[in-house]
Chain A
């Protein structure tokens, strides 16, 4: 076949024009997706969570690539996302569908998973009115990341407003109503006087005789909130005292300096731990002069002679595909994190309930740092310590400036909790899981805890609750085993 020169030239012109045109179009068009890496390439890990949260709030979809590059995120490549990332100094990588397919293949073939994030959770922070946002680590983190939240206090909780929120955070509130036993040391300090007066006035206003009575009622509302499907995240002293207040619903555990009556006889024996989220068999510290609530805290920072030094804690690895919730909660670019003190710094292993999932602990220590569990239809997560970037955190210390710690590993744990309620629920497949907190069990070894396999799972082993102290790896042979397949 002979093709004339002129026709050939015309064809070539078309090809050249098409190539040039294609190049121009390709350059003008954005990539289809933005990958937000969360490994060491990320320049501001904390703000990245805010970017994702606000994208969800604005109706965009996102994905969380568990265990992929430190727990990266995927966003649609739209101008507004690029703008926000640039303003906040967040590193992002435009990727096309080809690259995304390769990433998904990598995820499918490894201990990784892609979790769809659907909507921004509504967040409530239990904090006194007019408290500055620098008062606790979570408000600090949310404020810095640009994540919206609503402050709630006793009035709102008692009025039942918690049902409006997906996520509730508590920090160093003392739910036993003893104001962290600071009465002896700080009773004349203006901030303490203000705190006490505020508590008394709230109790009076809401019809409770004392602060301990009010706080017990508040704690009960929070228990009901979780039972009915809420997510609770607590840090510092709230972890310990919430449990004490819930278990003490029929016991007076507040010293006479707090409510005018002595602690009940046999208080330890009368506590009802079946109602609590995480703890059991706890010994209450009844001495008003000892600045400790119980033996839940392993570090006892405010008790001379009992105080334990800070070490570092290691995050556990979980199966991203089978245990996405725990996986989400431990996403990080470092696995070993320096410890930090709080009114409650850690949780002694001896006081943990069977079924509690341990997500971080200090090797060789009799305490753990970061725990999670299901309760009724909801779930809870406790992280010991006050401020990950202020390990000592003395009273009167300056607030932490997170712009100096944009890649804080400890703060990432807090923000993991903020995003995890945004995850899309995956349908349960062949797995049957318990819904009552008493049905599940955690098998602990001296060094590491593994969630065990439950009755009815596709795996074979079904250790009974009494085997908690037996140092046995689940017979499914995995260091992790299937639990709730998402929320």
Chain B
């Protein structure tokens, strides 16, 4: 009976203890939660006691310690924080968070001796561990104390039997000192245990100058070709040269799951940078290992955006053979646009007729406008209008503006084209003409641009030249355009006549300097060096303020043979 009572008492006691422990943990959780809420509302002073309360009743004080660090720092009471940390360290001398906060606080307070002492205590508390060295060195580097960081890392190498475990910090230090070769080597080592520091490596090494870059490339390019290291090199090439070079670094990797993931991430980054064709290639590489229709769509879209409609069309065709209909709508639109860009408006129109009914209303509207735009770019205004009418769609601003231009309605074209963000060569040319004249109508200019759209360069040149007589205020520009077009049809004689006229009759126009330069280029390519030199000298001396003078000087150097004509093998 007595033993039964004792057992009951013991169970009761255990129950009480368990309840108290649970309630203590609940109280700690509640205190931390309330402290964070108060901190979030900007009441840091009120949050401090709650953080301290949470700190006293937990086995994992990290959250409370970080909260205290933030709030005490805001209150500006460093000593209070250090006192709290000291009390935590009495109980938990190996706690890395408490140790790190202690070092950070002392370093930020410029209490170098105390920081060094704290660092030594930490090292002694965790013999053989690299964390104290890493944390302290990083703090010192952030504070710009490279020499002290160097001492710490040298000490680390002695205590840890080499620099492998502090390679990232060594790499950062060497980078800060401009010792790029060592830095790159250390980053290679660091990637073995800290691949997440890839972005830091790119940031540090990215500051290297031209000569050092080749050294860094050689180190990171060496075998074995580890993914993390290749990603660093790729990131550096993205900064130093181009997205294409960056992709070249990654594409040589054997496609494992993580490599393909890296390729896809790279492709997405390249899309953001509008390096569309590089993104397309990265998607294409990933497709070799992952047969996903969504990747084909992205590759095709990237091709289209990158100005390679033929490639987009090829991707669309490849997907058709998969018999995967999940992206059929999107791909049909890509195909339509690609056909339009390729000048195959008829094929695009047929596709619209064939697939239009399966599109949702929004996609269908896009498709109709894409086909109409294809007709417009071919200069077939009537069919563009017919497509829009048939599709029940109104022309968008772009189509309307270009159709107005082809009609010779300069006023509407001017208003419409200015609103667009189109930066195609034709758009820039049209805007430059429209900006030079105040005329509201010119059938000739309309015909000239229509001929350009139909790729009839000779007719366009002829129209621009003849219209120059009527549109007096834009006459030099129209003549310059005509000369350029004649030149592209290999009718250099006609171009030269126009350039001569520009230089003599429109000497004060901006096109006169351009005429000198263009003429000189033609003469130089014809082997008429002396005549080219005369033209270039005329430009430089007559229009010394022209923005074309640097170009003219460069041409002059080439014409005189005072600089190498092109890179060639020399010893």
Contacts and interface: CB of A to CB of B under 8 A. Distances in A.
Binding partners A and B: yes
Contact of A86 (B544, B564, B569, B571): B544
B495 to A, nearest CB: 25
A401 B563 contact: yes
A83 B537 CA distance: 9
A396 B541 CA distance: 38
A391 B144 CA distance: 31
Contacts, number: 57
B557 interface: yes
Interface in B543-570: 544, 549, 553-554, 556-557, 560-564, 567-570
B250 interface: no
Nearest to B550: A89
A398 B549 CA distance: 26
Contact of A87 (B214, B537, B563, B569): B537
B211 interface: yes
B563 A144 contact: yes
A129 interface: no
B11 to A, nearest CB: 79
B562 A144 contact: yes
Interface residues of A, number: 26
Interface string A66-98: 000000000000000001001111000000000
A191 B214 CA distance: 26
B541 A403 contact: no
B279 interface: no
Nearest to A88: B553
B540 A86 contact: yes
Contacts of B554: 403
A408 B568 CA distance: 22
Contact of A402 (B541, B563, B569, B570): B563
Interface string A391-426: 110011111111100000000000000000000000
B562 A143 contact: yes
B184 to A, nearest CB: 15
Given A87-B541, A191-B571, A403 B211 contact: no
A310 B214 CA distance: 14
A200 B211 CA distance: 38
Contact of A399 (B541, B557, B564): B564
B412 to A, nearest CB: 46
Given A87-B541, A87-B556, A398 B563 contact: no
Interface string A362-399: 00000000000000000000000000000110011111
Contacts of A109: none
A392 B213 CA distance: 13
Nearest to A172: B571
A32 B567 CA distance: 44
A48 to B, nearest CB: 14
B569 A396 contact: yes
Most chain A CB atoms below 10 A, which of B540, B553, B563: B563
A399 B568 contact: yes
A307 to B, nearest CB: 13
B562 A398 contact: no
A143 B570 contact: no
A398 B566 CA distance: 8
Nearest to B569: A396
Contact of B560 (A89, A146, A392, A396): A146
B550 to A, nearest CB: 8
A134 B540 contact: no
Contacts of B564: 132, 134, 398-401
Interface string A85-123: 011110000000000000000000000000000000000
Interface in B520-544: 537, 540-541, 544
B557 A403 contact: yes
A455 B152 CA distance: 57
Nearest to A401: B563
A132 B556 contact: no
A310 B564 CA distance: 26
Contacts of B570: 132, 134-135, 396-399
A134 B570 CA distance: 8
Contacts of A392: 211, 214
A396 B569 CA distance: 5
A404 B564 CA distance: 11
A146 B562 contact: yes
B540 to A, nearest CB: 5
Interface in B177-224: 211, 214
Contacts of B537: 87
B380 to A, nearest CB: 48
B556 A398 contact: no
A398 B568 contact: yes
B553 A398 contact: no
A392 to B, nearest CB: 7
A395 B568 CA distance: 11
A403 B567 contact: no
Interface in A127-170: 132-135, 143-146
B242 to A, nearest CB: 19
A398 B544 contact: no
Given A86-B541, A87-B540, A143-B562, A395 B571 contact: yes
B536 to A, nearest CB: 8
B194 to A, nearest CB: 29
B553 A391 contact: no
Most chain A CB atoms below 10 A, which of B549, B561, B567: B567
A87 B562 CA distance: 14
Nearest to A392: B211
Most chain A CB atoms below 10 A, which of B537, B554, B557, B562: B562
Nearest to B536: A87
A391 B211 contact: yes
Nearest to B540: A87
Contacts of A398: 564, 567-568, 570
Most chain A CB atoms below 10 A, which of B537, B541, B549, B569: B569
A79 to B, nearest CB: 11
A172 to B, nearest CB: 8
A359 to B, nearest CB: 24
A403 B561 CA distance: 12
Contacts of B563: 143-144, 401-403
Interface string B292-316: 0000000000000000000000000
Interface in B384-417: none
Given A144-B562, A146-B562, A83 B541 contact: yes
Contacts of A391: 211
A86 B540 CA distance: 7
B376 to A, nearest CB: 44
A61 to B, nearest CB: 25
A39 to B, nearest CB: 21
Contacts of B556: 87
Contacts of A133: 561
A399 B211 contact: no
B553 to A, nearest CB: 6
A392 B211 CA distance: 8
Contacts of B214: 392
Most chain B CB atoms below 10 A, which of A143, A146, A392: A143
Contacts of B549: 89
Nearest to B557: A403
A87 B556 CA distance: 9
> Which 9 A-B pairs have CB atoms at the shortest separation, nearest pair first?
A398-B567, A399-B564, A134-B564, A144-B562, A396-B569, A403-B563, A401-B563, A399-B570, A143-B562
28 contacts: A83-B541, A86-B544, A87-B537, A87-B541, A87-B553, A88-B553, A89-B553, A132-B564, A132-B570, A134-B564, A144-B562, A145-B562, A191-B569, A392-B211, A395-B571, A396-B570, A396-B571, A397-B570, A398-B568, A399-B564, A399-B568, A399-B570, A401-B563, A401-B564, A402-B563, A403-B557, A403-B562, A403-B563
Given A87-B540, A397-B570, 16 more contacts: A83-B541, A86-B541, A86-B544, A134-B564, A143-B562, A144-B557, A146-B560, A146-B562, A191-B571, A310-B211, A395-B571, A398-B570, A399-B564, A399-B567, A403-B554, A403-B557
